[in-house]
A and B are shown apart, each in its own frame.
Chain A
Amino acid sequence: MKKLIGVLALVLFATTLGFGQAKVVAEEWQIPFLNCLTGPIAAIGEFLEWGAEYAAQEINASGGIAGVPVKVIPVDTALDPQKGSVEMARIVKDGLVAMGPVPEPVIMAAMPIAVEAGMMSMTATTSLEYAQKFFPWTVSFLPPTEERLATIVAAWGKEFPDMKKVVQFIEPYGPWPGMADGHVKGLQGIGISVLPPVEVPTDAVTFGPLVVKALEEKPDGIILVCNAEKAAKIIKELKSRGWKKMNHILVFSSADDPQLYATGGTDLNGVQVYNYINLDISNPRWNAFKAAFAKDHKGMAPFSLSPNYYDALYMIKEAIEKTGVTGDPSKLAEERKKIADYCANVKNFHGLLFNWDMKDGIPTNKPNFIFQIQDGKKKLVEEVR
């Protein structure tokens, strides 16, 4: 009799557990990804899309999200706010969560729609300064610009005690001038004086006059805050005008893409660059990612933002599984909020390259890296936290 009561109690307990856990009703998790698949930055859009699709393949191969397969739905915004806003308006009608938009002009046109609808859309590649305008309905994958960059640039400055005066080449695009302000803070913090910046016009095609202007100030160090092609051309121009201390040139993260290396060639040898990923990190997931990326991209290595939407999809997966989201349309508003709340404060998130925590939508402990370029390859100089 006692055994029978024990078994009944066990069955009752198990049943209660079963009732406590909501059943997933979605047949497939469809995650729209508002991305630029055509237009001027289609190449970057393809890298981002590839990362998200790769994550979806991995997740599905290991049982899906809460046992249900996931599908990334590519939504092309073509870098057009007009298109991006209509697409976002379509998605918020019944979407549970989305990824993107990419990049800033489309974020600004489309994110207010997601905010109004109370749906999370992860803008994983923009700076905190853009993302935080739409909190809590997005999260930032990057910590506060000024604070983070001040630390990195101070670490670079400390490498060279002979460096006393630094000049920055700044292209006034989106968050870049704000990033340059972060550099100034870091340099001044270690007693390096910052010379008046040289503005790089967005439509600049020749760089000789800009370089001459900068060299007239007799700097010991140079930081380049402009797009990859312009950064490479400025370095070539500097070299042709007799600049010798190549490691006293620092290229900012947004210019660290294939175009920098393709345009700069061996003239980049010795130049330092900072970024948020380190291609040389070795772990099974990242190694598999790199190999698959190279296979699909003619041997190329992933670029700095490649893992962001891979991680974004995994963060959504974790949020759905940990908060018991069911995909039930009748609970849409409640479940959207659950996902947003979870992602804003996720702890020890297992990213592709490292684990990190979020506090109120802001990552708190992501590392940064300084590299030196040699023959088109980056060698780690130091990790900065």
Chain B
Amino acid sequence: MPLPLYYYLSITAVNILMSWALYLPYRVAHLHFLTVANMAISGYTAGYLVMSLHVPFGWALVVGFALGGLIGWAVSIFIGDAPTFAVVIVGFTFIFITRAVIQNLPAVGGPMGMFGLPNIGGSAASHRWIILGILYALVILVGWLIHRFDNSRLGRAASAVFVDADLAASLGINRKRLGMLLQTASCTIAGGTGVLYGFIYKSFHLDFFTFALVGFFMIVIFVGGYATQWGAAVAAPILYGVPLFFPPEIQSWRIVIYGALLILVLVLKPEGFITPRFVRSIETFLSGDRKKRNITLKEVV
């Protein structure tokens, strides 16, 4: 496989998974940036396990998922039903704390970072296939689970909380438990993804986990569409991939283009490009049911 394609595909998978990790708690209006801190915590932990304690990569990955979930659950006890703004503040604070702690831990390289993560599978080529295989297996698994969630009673309960938390509570929805479930799930995804992110680069540096990453995931979700998982799945490859093919003169304007796009979408199409209605239309069209549902191809397009 050509190297640029490998890096594109693997980083795209990371971006999809991390955008979903933000999408899930946003189903109950929580912008949960703790996920980015979790990427770093699990990633560095797994790196330390593999490099210093010679733990097999598979176990280190499992620890990464578990650690992410554990931290997510512990924090969610306090902010499972907190307002959006409070969740944002907690997330940002955790990113700062995580950076400070890692900077002061010589065992994981401190501010220098962690170098020379080994090839999984013995060679560089097998490393690439294994990482790619795990990442896309995760994309399929997490995508399927989110799809199941979105179409379940829990998913509808989350939609109710998103629209009006008090009304949802009056319907008997336990807002806190739902918030805790979604935050824990999202942090679990982020933990494992953080491990894989570092193993793509075979190194860890604190600046792999910056607010720029938070910004990119936000753009993916809000431009793609925050009301359906397909928004992130479609927007992540495009928003990451298209600028790579811009000529150098336009590349310089990448951040401006992202910003302008985000503003335009928020003003003109606040739900993002991919909306639940759009997804339903596609599903109906693909299932050949369009006459019955009175939806034409023109309407879909």
B-binding residues in A (CB < 8 A)? 37-39, 74-76, 78-83, 85-87, 89-90, 92-93, 104-105, 108-109, 112-113, 116-117, 129-130, 133, 172-178, 201-203
Overall SS of chain A's interface: helix
Q: Across the interface, do A105 and B124 meet the contact criterion of CB distance under 8 Å?
A: no
A-binding residues in B (CB < 8 A)? 2-4, 6-8, 11, 15, 96, 99-100, 103-104, 110-113, 115-116, 124, 200-208, 212, 240, 243-244, 248, 251-252, 254-255
**B70 CB, nearest partner CB in chain A, Å:** 27
Q: Across the interface, do A108 and B7 meet the contact criterion of CB distance under 8 Å?
A: no
List 7 A-B pairs, minimum CB-CB distance, nearest first.
A105-B207, A89-B3, A89-B4, A108-B203, A109-B201, A172-B103, A133-B115
Could you give 13 example pairs across A and B, Cβ below 8 Å?
A74-B248, A75-B248, A78-B251, A85-B7, A86-B4, A93-B4, A105-B207, A108-B201, A108-B208, A109-B205, A109-B208, A173-B111, A174-B112
Q: Across the interface, do B240 and A82 meet the contact criterion of CB distance under 8 Å?
A: yes
A-B pairs with CB below 8 Å: how many? 94
Residues of B within 8 A of A201 (CB): 100
Residues of B within 8 A of A85 (CB): 7, 11, 200-201
Give the distance in Å from the alpha carbon of A109 to the alpha carbon of B104 in the complex.
21
Residues of B within 8 A of A74 (CB): 248
Q: Across the interface, do A76 and B252 meet the contact criterion of CB distance under 8 Å?
A: yes
Q: Closest residue to B11 on the A side, CB-wise?
A: A82
Residues of B within 8 A of A83 (CB): 243-244
**B8 CB, nearest partner CB in chain A, Å:** 6
Residues of A within 8 A of B99 (CB): 202
Q: Across the interface, do B111 and A177 meet the contact criterion of CB distance under 8 Å?
A: yes
Residues of A within 8 A of B244 (CB): 83, 86-87
Q: Across the interface, do A133 and B116 meet the contact criterion of CB distance under 8 Å?
A: yes
Q: Across the interface, do A90 and B4 meet the contact criterion of CB distance under 8 Å?
A: yes
Q: Across the interface, do B255 and A39 meet the contact criterion of CB distance under 8 Å?
A: yes
**B117 CB, nearest partner CB in chain A, Å:** 9
Residues of B within 8 A of A87 (CB): 244
**B107 CB, nearest partner CB in chain A, Å:** 14
Partner pick for A108 among B8, B100, B205, B252, CB 8 A cutoff: B205
Partner pick for A76 among B7, B207, B212, B251, CB 8 A cutoff: B251
